[in-house]
Amino acid sequence: MQDLPPLSAKIGENARGMLIALEGVDGTGKSTQAQLLKRYLEEAGLNVFVLKEPGGTPFGQQLRQLIMANLDNIDPVTQALLMIASRRQTLYEQISPLVDDGYVVICDRYIDSTYAYQGYGYGEDLEVLKALNVHSGVDIPADFTIYYDISDELREARLGDRQLQGLGAEGFDDAGRDFVDRVRKGYRELAQQHPDSSVWLDISELSINEVARASLEAVEAFLNREIDELVSDMVNSTDHTATTTTQPE
């Protein structure tokens, strides 16, 4: 198995980029927000690439079509295995090389979707799902994750509009409220485990532009913290070097 290069969000460290994951139940508008965030970050002078999971590569896109066409007939663990296969190919072929080249990669769904849907939603053992990610070499966390939440009423209205537009239901669009509530609870618990590298945004009463503004502000705040920590580390390292190299007279 080929090792995947590690990801890093430390700005200025080998000119590496970062991975931003957008998570949330269906209907939160992640795909729209990914494109808006891409535009804003590009205007700020950053190189940005947007991916969708499962998908992201020709192989991943074929897997996506297979999964979505047979979702009701696929065991949850099999779902997870197929998603992990897509994730590994995307990491190897797209995410890691792009981050190494200094790109900000925005991924519409990532590892936490497996835990939220197959774990919390379907009730599969989280430790088993984590082990599958680890042994597949895809347990590489996003540098920053935005979790979008939405009311049931707005979610159902949006998904209804999607079907009226002839787009049809996809994935878990038709999932009942009980399932969605379990997934939402999972996302909430996952966000609480990583308070320094994530933000929780309830978009129920926000316009699309307001959500985009909140997303951008969250990313900027994270980058500023990373820069402050990097500068602090550099200062501390310099002070330590100066102290250890000073010789008594």
Domains and CATH numbers, the chain: 18-239 (3.40.50.300)
DSSP result, 8-57: ---TTSTT--EEEEEEESTTS-HHHHHHHHHHHHHHTT--EEEEESS-SS
State the average pLDDT over residues 229-242.
Answer: 54
Q: Residue 148 and residue 184: Cα distance in Å, rounded?
A: 9
**109 touches 99 (CB < 8 A):** no
Q: Residue 105 and residue 50: Cα distance in Å, rounded?
A: 6
pLDDT at position 37: 95
Please name the amino acid found at residue 123.
G
Q: Which two tokens stand for residue 125?
A: 């053992």
pLDDT(231) > 70: no
pLDDT(50) > 90: yes
**118 touches 77 (CB < 8 A):** yes
pLDDT at position 71: 80
Q: Residue 142 and residue 77: Cα distance in Å, rounded?
A: 22
State the average pLDDT over residues 77-85.
Answer: 92
**176 touches 167 (CB < 8 A):** no
- Confidence band (pLDDT; 50, 70, 90) for 5? very low
pLDDT at position 119: 96
**51 touches 95 (CB < 8 A):** yes
pLDDT(208) > 60: yes
pLDDT averaged over the chain? 84
Percent of the chain with pLDDT over 70: 79
Distances (CA, A) of 156 to 15, 25, 132, 201, 241: 43, 11, 32, 18, 59
pLDDT digits (tens, 9 = 90+) for 135-150: 999 999 999 999 999 9
Please name the amino acid found at residue 209.
N
Q: Residue 167 and residue 164: Cα distance in Å, rounded?
A: 7
